[in-house]
Amino acid sequence: MELLNRLDRQLQTLEQHSLIRRRRTVETPCGPRVRVAGRELLAFCSNDYLGLAGHPALAEALREGASLYGVGSGASHLISGHGRAHAQLEERLAQFVGAHLESPRALTFCTGYMANLAVLTGLTAGDKDAEIFSESLNHASLIDGARLSRAKVSVYPHADLAALDALLAASGAATKVVVTDSVFSMDGDLAPLPALLALCEQHGAWLVVDDAHGFGALGANGHGALEHFALRSPYLVYMGTLGKAAGVGGAFVAAHEIVIETLIQKSRPYIFTTAAPPALAHALLASLDLLEGEEGRARRAHLQTLVAQLDAGLQLKRWQRMPSSTAIQPIVIGDNAETMNAGAALYEQGLWVGAIRPPTVPLGTARLRATLSAGHTSAEVAQLITALNALERT
Ligand SMILES: *Cc1c(COP(=O)(O)O)cnc(C)c1O
């Protein structure tokens, strides 16, 4: 069949460029130590930054949620799928980040990908005079959300405030939306949020902050990037994901209640999809308690110790570190095949580190992306340091 042949030729091209992606099947709960194909591995590749994904209290809360609410929600939020657990979670999330917003309200989603589609389409829905200003290293879901919105999209270079200022000044759009990751997922650095917010307020633009990697992990109370930078503004539209540091799954948007009501009324990625199982919302309530409590504080402190340990221990000459103070620690190798070989060599030694190639990162910047978790011990991080230092010299 010619159609199949065409697809097959495209797959072969990917294979030739070392761009074929393969999945590994994990046989254990997510955590620092996992088993794949019967082999024990030390994993430095999940986004479970606080080590909560396998936490017994959350598994118990999920079981309790299932006995209270059953399994499926059965419908979209606007029909009959919006349950008590969803409502409680929205209230709790609005409180969680509400100190940084005006008239805060929160809205939950099944995934961060969908939340980002919903925000960017919702803020610009039916508005022929809208422009989205998107940071060049933004997550794929923000790029796709901007495309789906059909608004004009202008991309500004990474962390380039002057370029953004010029774009905003030149724009005649009535609705301006600046959108950025807070922690860049493949680089680990932080967006200059205070300066970005000042620019947005000056130009009358929304600032949409995707805090997928900051929620739960940043801030003294785990409230995320807005707490980390002590920001507060009615111009802020906040997106946090609940499947990374929070250890469960799903996402939410928090913003002024009028923004949230607009998303409920107009955002197709919110309206036309089945609500998440309510038991997940119930488990998330327990996760928020952990994040805000003593345990969350201790886990964030331990994670910071591990980041400092890695920073002090890595002595690389050819490979490039990126300046990152977060759990995301990239090591840029450049060449796709060399990056894949480095990843494979670590895997042979029982260390699982993500090898990231284009198009996830720009051409010529293939890298190892090591992520640390509060679930790691300092002996385990020492093992990673030794392996990376030795591997670079071979
Ligand atoms: C993971 C991630 C998302 C998507 O969130 P999911 O809940 O996994 O769909 C969005 N933005 C960024 C920056 C992410 O890292």
pLDDT tens sequence across 107-156:
999 999 999 999 999 999 878 899 999 999 999 999 999 999 999 999 99
Q: Count Cβ neighbours within 10 Å for each residue of 70-82 and write b for 16 or more, e otherwise.
A: eeebeeebeeebb
Q: Is 357 near ligand 1, meaning CB less than 6 Å away? A: no
Mutational pocket test of ligand 1: of 30, 45, 141, the residue with most ligand atoms within 8 Å of the beta carbon: 141
Residue 180 pairs with which residues in a beta bridge? 209
Using one digit for the tens of pLDDT, what is the confidence trace for 232-272? 999 999 999 999 999 999 999 999 999 999 999 999 999 99
Using one digit for the tens of pLDDT, what is the confidence trace for 305-357? 999 999 999 999 999 999 899 999 999 999 999 999 999 999 999 999 999 99
Q: Is 213 near ligand 1, meaning CB less than 6 Å away? A: yes
Q: Residue 130 in contact with residue 151, Cβ under 8 Å? A: yes
Handedness of CA 41, 31, 223, 307 (dihedral sign): negative
Mutational pocket test of ligand 1: of 110, 119, 158, 185, the residue with most ligand atoms within 8 Å of the beta carbon: 185
Shortest-distance Cα residue to atom 3 of ligand 1: 112
366-371 and 351-356 strand pairing: antiparallel
Shortest-distance Cα residue to atom 4 of ligand 1: 112
Write the CATH number of the domain with boundaries 56-292: 3.40.640.10
As annotated, the residues of the chain forming the CATH 3.40.640.10 domain(s) are: 56-292
As annotated, the residues of the chain forming the CATH 3.90.1150.10 domain(s) are: 18-47+294-392
List the one residue out of 192, 179, 138, 196 whose CA is nearest residue 362.
138
Q: Binding site for pyridoxal 5'-phosphate: which residues?
A: 112-113, 185, 213, 241
Handedness of CA 124, 210, 198, 158 (dihedral sign): negative
Fold observed for domain 18-47+294-392: Aspartate Aminotransferase, domain 1 (3.90.1150)
92's enclosing H/E stretch is helix 84-98
Q: Is 369 near ligand 1, meaning CB less than 6 Å away? A: no
Binned at pLDDT 50, 70 and 90, residue 17 comes out as confident
Q: Is the pTM of this model over 0.85?
A: yes
